[in-house]
A and B are shown apart, each in its own frame.
Chain A
Amino acid sequence: MKKLSPRLKNIPRRATMNALLLVFILIYPLTTGLYQIDTMAKVIPLMIFALSADLLWGYTGIMSLGQAVPFGIGAYIAAISNNVSAGIPSYMRTYGITEVPAVFRPLTNPYLGTAFAILIPCLLSFMIGRLLLTGKVRGVFVSLITMALSNVLMLAVNNAQRFTGGSNGVNNVSRPSLFGHILSITENYYFVALIAALLFAVCAALTSTKFGKVLGAIRVNENRVAFIGYNVTSYKVFVYVFSSALAAIAGILYARTCGMVSPSLTGLRLSILVIIWIAVGGRGNLTGALFGCLLLNGMERIMAGIIGDAWEFVIGIILLLIVFCVPDGLIGTLLTARPGLKKKEAANG
């Protein structure tokens, strides 16, 4: 659609929104104190997490309710690696463990630890993807199975106390260190922001290619894609593994910024929250996922202090309002407002 009405022409488009977001993130630390900077540094990895889920759900139409699996595994491996590289973690000592368990020994090297924190979730997702994304299991069943995986992992993490610290999680995780120097709160903020910006650029580049178009084609008409020669399963598995890598990186950064991990990072709640962030921001354009994540996490941190657990209720109402009033999400609606494309026509394509 080349002809946009004058009013629509003035709507800030994606690049403008991305630029605004970048500027906000860059100047935020200059406007506030260390506590807020640290809080925001915990939200930025969640934005990477939101990108990962948007590739999967927003672009390809695969609604995983187990995106916390790669996130949580990445976070845990990073946390354990950080702990064991400094000796025997205290939670292990309480179980009488006097030397680093054999499975964790490679993690005593921080670089290997980080590599494993990314590779193991990818490997797991590759295996799950090969089984789950062959076209035999569809739609809501993919959601249900991935949801079950999320639950199983959380149970396992809760029960393998000797290795995972059980419900207490793993504590005393240090912020990332570069060149032998542990980053300060502000340095870590910019470090996390830099990685997020790079990963965003990778996602934006990836989705702008023909590959990105194929993902969109799979979303709207999966059956047709195979008949023009594409192996739909390999595309889906690729996206699934790639988005797991992003989720794992998000998990690593989250763990290192928070200083601790707990079983909830692997569970269903987080898997569902990321879907809600994207639904609110708008799916399938990356920017919506970032805004949705920022908006809801920002609100959560402000509101939880005021209304406590009632926030869970508010988030439900926000979701309902969005689904019924702006089904394309806040950013999605701004971006796709296009004269000439009517809903009815879109439905019977």
Chain B
Amino acid sequence: MADTILELMDVTVDFKGFLAVDAVSLSVGRGEVRTIIGPNGAGKSTLIDLITGKTRLKFGKIVFDGADITLRPPHEIAHAYGIGRKFQGPNTFFDMSVFDNLLLALRGSTGVGKSIFYRRTDDARGKIDDILRIIGLEDKKDTLVSALSYGEKQWVEIGMVLAQDAKLVILDEPTTGMTADETYKTGEMIRAMRKDRTIIVSEHDMDFVRQVAETVTVMNQGKILAEGTFEEIRQNPEVIRVYLKE
């Protein structure tokens, strides 16, 4: 890979003796859309928790955009390094409007002093409007997130990640609970957001993977089982054995 943006070296997560991620090495190229698939419990979410600082690794090293981010706290990984994530299942500020959720996620002004003296600029408004358009919630911007459908809540979170203006966007199963139609729309959102970003998506839905993926990494029992294009993966006998036939 000519230009690597994210490199995991031999990372291991130990949950009291259970290795949820077991000596995984992975590198993701700048501008790539990487899909991580694998059966439930394979360790996809844990791997994402690791990159974003939610879970601490036991061994290994994580390098992002030339900087060692191993064991950095989540807010620093999000703000200083520019990694945004969407959690598995909606994870928003439910008693606030869609607009406010996006405003809070907007890049910059995350310090205490800056947030006290923050004045919303036209530029910020414009950015939020753009995002609302991408996630298709323009006419619901003043609606409380709690009043949205499950799928729409997931989109709000995708919008939040966009607002963060992250260099690397990680989406953990963004289409769970969505209808086929919503899933397709989500795929289009991801294609639209990839322009200047690197994207990692963990996913279950195979049609969706086909729609967005370039390189697919298959995980199983905390390890990487295979890596390749969608077609290669689909024909890999071992992958078929543990996953596709599931």
Could you tell me which residues of chain A, from 245 to 259, have a CB within 8 Å of some CB in chain B? none
Q: A1-B142, A2-B142, A227-B85 are in contact. Are A349 and B95 (CB under 8 A)?
A: yes
Number of A-B contacts (CB under 8 A): 109
Could you tell me which residues of chain A, from 180 to 207, have a CB within 8 Å of some CB in chain B? 206
Could you tell me which residues of chain A, from 193 to 242, have a CB within 8 Å of some CB in chain B? 206, 209-211, 213-214, 216-217, 220-221, 223-232, 234-235, 238
Give the CA-CA distance A238 to B116 in the complex, in Å. 11
With both beta carbons as reference points, the residue of chain A lying nearest to B97 in the complex is identified as: A1
Chain B nearest CB from A72 CB (Å) reads 27
A210 and B146 contacting across the interface, CB-CB below 8 Å: no
Size category of the A interface is 20 to 34
Chain A residues near B104 (CB, 8 Å)? 210, 213-214, 217, 225, 228
Stretch at the interface among A75-83, A109-117, A167-175, A339-347: A339-347
Chain A residues near B153 (CB, 8 Å)? 349
Give the CA-CA distance A241 to B84 in the complex, in Å. 30
B95 and A213 contacting across the interface, CB-CB below 8 Å: no
Chain A residues near B78 (CB, 8 Å)? 226-229
Q: A226-B74, A230-B110 are in contact. Are A213 and B103 (CB under 8 A)?
A: yes
Chain B nearest CB from A88 CB (Å) reads 43
Chain A nearest CB from B160 CB (Å) reads 6
B74 and A216 contacting across the interface, CB-CB below 8 Å: no
With both beta carbons as reference points, the residue of chain A lying nearest to B91 in the complex is identified as: A224
Chain B nearest CB from A245 CB (Å) reads 15
B92 and A226 contacting across the interface, CB-CB below 8 Å: no
Chain A nearest CB from B182 CB (Å) reads 18
Chain A nearest CB from B148 CB (Å) reads 9
Which of A227, A231, A342 has the largest number of chain B CB atoms within 10 A?
A227
B146 and A214 contacting across the interface, CB-CB below 8 Å: no
Q: A231-B75, A346-B94, A349-B95 are in contact. Are A209 and B100 (CB under 8 A)?
A: no
Give the CA-CA distance A234 to B144 in the complex, in Å. 27
B74 and A349 contacting across the interface, CB-CB below 8 Å: no
Chain A residues near B93 (CB, 8 Å)? 216-217, 220-221, 224, 349
Q: Is B115 an interface residue (CB 8 A)?
A: yes
What's the dominant secondary structure at chain A's contact region? helix
Chain B: residues with Cβ within 8 Å of the partner, total of 41
A346 and B95 contacting across the interface, CB-CB below 8 Å: yes
A226 and B96 contacting across the interface, CB-CB below 8 Å: no
A228 and B84 contacting across the interface, CB-CB below 8 Å: yes
A217 and B96 contacting across the interface, CB-CB below 8 Å: yes
Q: Is B145 an interface residue (CB 8 A)?
A: yes
B145 and A209 contacting across the interface, CB-CB below 8 Å: no
Chain B residues near A345 (CB, 8 Å)? 146-147
A211 and B115 contacting across the interface, CB-CB below 8 Å: yes
Residue from the list A209, A216, A234 in contact with B116, Cβ < 8 A: A209
Which of A210, A223, A228, A348 has the largest number of chain B CB atoms within 10 A?
A228
Q: Is B204 an interface residue (CB 8 A)?
A: no
A213 and B96 contacting across the interface, CB-CB below 8 Å: yes
Chain B residues near A231 (CB, 8 Å)? 73, 75-76, 110-111
Which of B87, B112, B144 has the largest number of chain A CB atoms within 10 A?
B112
Chain A nearest CB from B105 CB (Å) reads 4
Chain A residues near B107 (CB, 8 Å)? 229
A349 and B94 contacting across the interface, CB-CB below 8 Å: yes
Give the CA-CA distance A110 to B147 in the complex, in Å. 55
Chain A nearest CB from B106 CB (Å) reads 9
Give the CA-CA distance A230 to B93 in the complex, in Å. 14
Chain A residues near B120 (CB, 8 Å)? 210
Q: A228-B78, A228-B84, A349-B146 are in contact. Are A211 and B116 (CB under 8 A)?
A: yes
Chain A nearest CB from B197 CB (Å) reads 16
A211 and B118 contacting across the interface, CB-CB below 8 Å: yes
Annotate B75-87 by CB proximity to A: 1 below 8 A, 0 otherwise.
1101100001101
19 A-B pairs within 8 Å (CB atoms) are namely A1-B143, A213-B103, A221-B92, A221-B94, A227-B75, A227-B84, A228-B105, A228-B110, A228-B160, A228-B164, A229-B75, A230-B110, A231-B111, A234-B112, A238-B112, A345-B146, A346-B95, A348-B94, A349-B92
Further 4 A-B residue pairs, CB within 8 A, beyond A223-B54, A226-B75, A349-B146: A217-B93, A341-B147, A345-B146, A346-B95
- List residues of chain A with CB under 8 Å of any chain B CB: 1-2, 206, 209-211, 213-214, 216-217, 220-221, 223-232, 234-235, 238, 340-342, 345-346, 348-349
